[in-house]
Amino acid sequence: MNILESIRFIMPEIILLVFAIIILVSSFFIRNKNVLGVFALSAIVAASLYLPQSHKTDTALFFNMLTSDSFSLFFKEISLFITGIVVLLSMGYKELTEEYIGEYYFLLLNGTIAMLLAVSSNNLLMIYLSLEMLSLISYLLVAFLKNNTLSSEGALKYFLFGALSTGIMLYGISLIYGLFGTTDLSIISKTVNTGQMNGLVSLILLVMILAGLGFKCSLVPFHMWAPDVYQGAPTAVTAFISVGPKAVGFAVLLRIFTNNFFPLYVNWVSLMTIISIFTMTIGNIIAISQTNIKRMLAYSSIAQAGYMLIGFVVGSASGMEGILYYILAYALMNLGAFGCVILVSNSIRSDAIEDYAGLYKKDPVTSFMLSIFLLSLAGVPPLAGFWGKFLVFSAAIQSKFILLAIVGVLNSVVAAYYYMRVIKYMYLEEPKVEYIKQKSAPLQIALATVMAGVFIAGLYISPFLNWIRNSQFSLFQ
């Protein structure tokens, strides 16, 4: 397909960019968080209306730099949904002053463009560029509370870790280019399929690429940045970082490994098993001792990535289905949890778990919602999080990864303890700190949306499964 024809497939990206510039310019005149937020929301709605319809066959765009398949469409839909919720959360987040609000939404929309490009890239170079764009925007967003030392510290750590790991990834890509003479994934996968690859060499290459993606998905041992960044960043940004780049990271991981390097499966499966086990276990165990809820959710999100990785390790169609559903459920419940954290921190000016004591008395609705999100993260049926675990564990059992399944279920018991701890503070203790209730309509809309999502995806799961089944790679169809 030539360039002109390709353009209509990137209409969503173009719309977002146009709106981003409009927001930036108009922020010179309008410094209102909500007005600009509505602008950003309409950008997202318009972009989702222009999403290309799903295709049975892949469409190569821009000299095969990008592709437009049903897999990328799934992740584009999720990315737009995530940003939409994050915009609503930002509108209700008090710490975010109106001084640089235009720049904030500008960056957020550009981050979304990067996400949309990353999930549809079919070329290692394009993958690197879009991920790097996403990373740079994330660093800036984390540092957005520039007078807050934690925010700056988090951003610096994020930047140093990011620079190192993407550097390694870029080196890996350069080696791949040296070996194959191209960075086009579809050409590479043809060579791989002939089985001419040396096992050790391929393993080294894949580990290098994994460094960059593991950083995005916060897999152990590339997870060290997460707690400080999650804690320091403005909470709305934390919500974004905990789900957006993670979903993108998994999408790229699946595209490179499962779709294109699948013949090398035997080389990376044992390594990935170990990473998955460590990610789950370390995330969960350290989460137990956290006293700040954002830090706790950071470790919890590391652990959640470990569960998702089970579906990836299994490498089967049902594993893929599990991972896609898990990402969907995880986006819903994690955004919800952070939304509640924002609501509470607006009212008590604190993120300490201790200060959640007796929340049920002051704000029964928020404590109920936060409990639902935490229970969903813990995997209590019939909420969405349960089915995520159910699907990845069943994929593991089906492909006889019994050890992985057992470690997974044991971990979810450990996880239940620290999720319940927050609930314990909210319902079983008496209030200690002053609570000045702050209302925010956008926040409530966002929370109601994800809350409904958690219940609907839990109780009426069939349509979601069908949607996911239609979004898998051709490899598994």
- List interacting residues with another protein (CB under 8 A): 360, 375, 380-382, 386, 390, 393-394, 397-398, 405-406, 409-410, 412-413, 416-417, 420, 424, 427-428, 461-462, 465-466, 469
Inter-residue contact 6 to 62 (CB < 8 Å): yes
Query: What is the closest distance, in whole angstroms, from the C-beta atom of residue 446 to another protein in the complex?
Result: 22
Of residues 59 and 316, the one with the C-beta less far from another protein: 316
Q: Calculate the alpha carbon distances from 397 to 25, 409, 442 in Å.
A: 54, 12, 42
Of residues 44 and 375, the one with the C-beta less far from another protein: 375
Query: What is the closest distance, in whole angstroms, from the C-beta atom of residue 364 to another protein in the complex?
Result: 8
Written as six digits, the tokens of 98 are: 């109106």
* Crossing angle of helices 265-288 and 199-217, rounded to 10°: 30
Query: What is the closest distance, in whole angstroms, from the C-beta atom of residue 426 to another protein in the complex?
Result: 11
Residue type, 423: I
Per residue, what are the HEC states of 58-71?
A: CCEECCCCEECCHH
Query: What is the closest distance, in whole angstroms, from the C-beta atom of residue 452 to another protein in the complex?
Result: 15
The rounded distance, in Å, linking the Cα atoms of 53 and 59 is: 11
Written as six digits, the tokens of 398 are: 């089906």
The rounded distance, in Å, linking the Cα atoms of 45 and 243 is: 19
* Crossing angle of helices 199-217 and 149-180, rounded to 10°: 160
Written as six digits, the tokens of 342 are: 């924002």
Of residues 194 and 462, the one with the C-beta less far from another protein: 462
Of residues 57 and 462, the one with the C-beta less far from another protein: 462
User: Which phi-psi region, left, alpha or beta, contains residue 96 (left: φ > 0; alpha: ψ -120 to 50)?
Assistant: beta
Residue type, 41: L
Query: What is the closest distance, in whole angstroms, from the C-beta atom of residue 382 to another protein in the complex?
Result: 5
Of residues 159 and 419, the one with the C-beta less far from another protein: 419
Of residues 161 and 325, the one with the C-beta less far from another protein: 325
Query: What is the closest distance, in whole angstroms, from the C-beta atom of residue 331 to another protein in the complex?
Result: 21
Of residues 231 and 371, the one with the C-beta less far from another protein: 371
Rounded to 5°, angle at Cα 330 from 172 and 335? 105
Helix, strand, coil tally for the chain in percent (to 5): 80, 0, 20
Ranges of beta strands (E only) in 42-135 are: 60-61, 66-67
Of residues 200 and 430, the one with the C-beta less far from another protein: 430
Query: What is the closest distance, in whole angstroms, from the C-beta atom of residue 78 to another protein in the complex?
Result: 20
Query: What is the closest distance, in whole angstroms, from the C-beta atom of residue 402 to another protein in the complex?
Result: 8
Of residues 118 and 375, the one with the C-beta less far from another protein: 375
Of residues 63 and 417, the one with the C-beta less far from another protein: 417
Query: What is the closest distance, in whole angstroms, from the C-beta atom of residue 214 to another protein in the complex?
Result: 27
Written as six digits, the tokens of 195 are: 């089985």
Nearest to 113 by CA among 254, 19, 185, 42: 19
Of residues 95 and 429, the one with the C-beta less far from another protein: 429
Of residues 83 and 471, the one with the C-beta less far from another protein: 471
Q: 273-297: b or e for each residue (b if 16 or more CB lie within 10 Å)?
A: bebbbbbbbbbbebbeebebbbbbb
Nearest to 108 by CA among 27, 164, 187: 27
Written as six digits, the tokens of 410 are: 């044991």
Burial class (CB within 10 angstroms; exposed 0-12, middle 13-18, buried 19+) of 50: middle
Residue type, 258: T
Query: What is the closest distance, in whole angstroms, from the C-beta atom of residue 414 to another protein in the complex?
Result: 9
The rounded distance, in Å, linking the Cα atoms of 37 and 145 is: 18
Query: What is the closest distance, in whole angstroms, from the C-beta atom of residue 376 to another protein in the complex?
Result: 11
Residue type, 25: V
Query: What is the closest distance, in whole angstroms, from the C-beta atom of residue 203 to another protein in the complex?
Result: 30
Whose structure tokens read 């007796």? 358
